[in-house]
Amino acid sequence: MALNIVIMAAGKGTRMKSATPKVLHKLAGRSLLAHVLKSGEPLAAATRIVITGHGAEQVEAAVQAEGISFVRQMPQLGTGHAIQQVVPALVGEGTTLILNGDVPLIETPTAKALIEACAGHALVLLTVDLFDPTGYGRIIRNKDDGGVLAIVEHKDATPEQRLIHEGYSGMMAAPTTALKCWVGQLNNNNAQGEYYLTDIVAMAVAEGLPVLGIKAGSETEVLGVNDPVQLAQLERAFQAQQAEDLMRAGVRLADPARFDLRGTLTHGQDVDIDVNCVFEGDVTLGDNVRIGANCVIRNARIASGVRIHEFTHIDGEKQGASVGEGALIGPFARLRPGAQLGAEVHIGNFVEIKNSTLADGAKANHLAYLGDATVGARVNFGAGSITANYDGANKHRTTIGDDVHVGSNCVLVAPVTLGNGATIGGGSTITKDVNPGDLAVARGKQVALTGWTRPTKKR
């Protein structure tokens, strides 16, 4: 039986008070709509249709991928009107699953349960018991057998109906053929003058079709985002869940309330993470990794035994960054895309590394820049020294052999090569290659003027 997945995402999201369409606002680094699509991903569907309207071009560009199609709803006259637009795109006689683009944390097993209960012939609603159901459509049940009779929208509900705490989550699974027929019969004679999708419930009941209400496992799963307050609340709920999952898997978080993961974190055993760290994209931490407070780490692989001190920023962007076993990084270090550090490398405060390879045991402990460089084993790169890798038009490489000692305040003007074991005197500006084992000094000679008298101020 063919499955259609339809995600309604045409609404304006007025209460966000933002130029960005609501469904593109981010939760844990990914758009609300992307979360919904991800939950639907494991389901074998014949179609995945996103209904767009407000900011359609932006929304479509943001989530376009193979297997996803878009149907535009212009203007937006309600959820029933939205589904009317997709009728021609629905395939088969099986089930159509309807999800909301602004309810990001719906879980795959819940969606699966709706589809299975529908089985192409029952109308299945995802409902939720809410402490405060204001704004939600209410589930009206038969007093005798508890069967679902209808959904009444909050604005259309009587005072008695508003006392009902069971609300409609906005998600359902419906028999495709019947759904097409029902949405054709909707009208907008209601408090909001909209075509309500929820009116199909009474139609199904009138036809004698089974209508089931399945209750969501948690409230978080069905919470929608309507304003920045709800977005932040859902973000915290999601982060708390991720933190708990990691702690149950053995990761030690100093404070789960001060931890943010916007992507995936793969980890070994005995990982310690201090407060206020943010992980983005794909991050891998090996065994016994310890991360100090206030670090931001994005798209990076950190090997076993690495110690990352406080306030370190690592961003591998698309290229990635990697840190070898037992390395010491920070505090206040910055690793950029293409930083590849070997085992036992030490990177200290205010050192920036970009697109550079450092072999085992190399050290740059203070105030340095290594860009487009290949650095050998056990090199000591002095305080305040830099590679001048950019001539204003092009980037050039610096190659530093094993056991090279670069003194403080040196400028290595690329392209340049320092042979194994070379020594560079402090304050040198190196523009020519240095042979292995040589000492290169390229700075003004010190002169002493004995008895020098300082100038005095003229009257």
8 in contact with ligand UD1 (CB under 6 A): yes
Element counts in the chain: helices (H) and strands (E): 7, 38
Min dist CB 168 to ligand UD1, Å, is: 4
d(CA 139, CA 360): 65
Q: What is the C-alpha separation between 120 and 99, in angstroms, rounded?
A: 17
Q: Which residue shows structure tokens 């349960």?
A: 113
Q: Binding-site residue total for ligand UD1 (CB under 6 A)?
A: 28
| CA distance linking residue 194 with residue 90, whole number of Å | 22
Is residue 100 a contact point for ligand UD1 (CB under 6 A)? Answer: yes
- Residues 6+ positions from 276 with CB-CB distance below 8 Å: 258, 293, 294
Q: Is 73 near ligand UD1 (CB under 6 A)?
A: yes
Single out the residue of 10, 59, 126, 303 in contact with ligand UD1 (rule: CB under 6 A).
Answer: 10
Q: Least CB distance from residue 73 to ligand UD1, whole Å?
A: 5
Stretch that binds ligand UD1, among 59-67, 166-174, 357-365, 400-408 (CB under 6 A): 166-174
207/221 Cα distance (integer angstroms): 31
Q: Is residue 151 classed as helix, strand or coil in its secondary structure?
A: strand
Residue among 200 and 412 whose Cβ is closer to ligand UD1: 200
Give the residue with the Cβ less far from ligand UD1, 198 or 355.
198
Set 165, 366, 396, 405: catalytic member:
366
Site string for ligand UD1, 397-436 (x = CB under 6 A): ----------------------------------------
76 binds, among Mg ion, ligand UD1, none (CB under 5 to 8 A by kind): ligand UD1
SS3 65: coil
Residues whose CB falls within 8 Å of the CB of residue 13, separated by 6 or more in sequence, listed in order: 21, 22, 23, 54, 102, 226
Stretch 196-225 residues interacting with Mg ion (CB under 5 A): 224
With CB under 6 A as the contact rule, the residue among 55, 224, 348, 407 that binds ligand UD1 is 224
Task: Check if the beta carbon of residue 37 is closer than 8 Å to that of residue 68.
Answer: yes
Inter-residue contact 99 to 7 (CB < 8 Å): yes
Roughly how many angstroms between the first and final C-alpha of the chain, as a whole number?
101
Of the two residues 152 and 364, which places its CB atom closer to ligand UD1 in the complex? 152
- CA gap 225, 451 in Å, rounded: 78
Q: Is the Cβ of residue 82 or residue 124 nearer to ligand UD1 in the bound state?
A: 82
Residue 279 Cβ, how far from Mg ion at the closest point, in Å? 31
376 binds ligand UD1 (CB under 6 A): no
Tokens of 397: 């490489």
Nearer to Mg ion, 55 or 224 (CB): 224
Minimum distance between the CB of residue 400 and ligand UD1, rounded to whole angstroms?
56
196 contact, one of Mg ion, ligand UD1, none, CB 5-8 Å limit per kind: ligand UD1
- Which DSSP category does 367 fall into? S
Q: Please choose, out of 4-12, 57-65, 263-271, 401-409, the segment that lies near ligand UD1 by the rule CB under 6 A.
A: 4-12
10 binds, among Mg ion, ligand UD1, none (CB under 5 to 8 A by kind): ligand UD1
Q: What are phi and psi of 92, to 5 degrees?
A: 75, -175
Site for Mg ion in 221-280 (CB under 5 A): 224
Give CA–CA dist 323/319, Å, rounded. 14
The CA distance from 240 to 424, in Å, is 51
Is the Cβ of residue 224 or residue 292 nearer to Mg ion in the bound state? 224
Please count the residues of the chain: 459
Q: Which of 105, 150, 197, 323 binds ligand UD1 (CB under 6 A)?
A: 197
Please give the residue whose beta carbon sits closest to Mg ion in the complex.
Answer: 224
Rounded CA-CA distance 368/386 in Å is: 6
Q: Rounded to whole angstroms, how far apart are CA atoms 255 and 117?
A: 41
Closer CB to ligand UD1, 177 or 190, in the complex = 190
Q: E strand or H helix at 125, and its extent? A: strand 123-129
In the 8-state DSSP scheme, what is residue 389? -
Which region, judged by CB under 6 A, interacts with ligand UD1, from 110-118, 192-200, 202-210, 294-302? 192-200
Active site residue 366: yes
What tokens does 94 get?
């099986």
CB-wise, 64 or 269, nearer to ligand UD1?
64
Q: Pattern 23-62, binding to ligand UD1, x per CB under 6 A? A: ----------------------------x-x---------
Considering the complex, what minimum distance in angstroms separates the CB of residue 18 from ligand UD1?
Answer: 14
- Residue 58 CB neighbour total at 10 angstroms: 14
- CB 256, CB 274: distance < 8 Å: no
Kindly list the catalytic residues.
Answer: 366
Binding site for Mg ion (CB under 5 A): 224
Binding site for ligand UD1 (CB under 6 A): 8-11, 51, 53, 73, 76-79, 81-82, 100-102, 136-137, 151, 153, 167-170, 196-198, 224
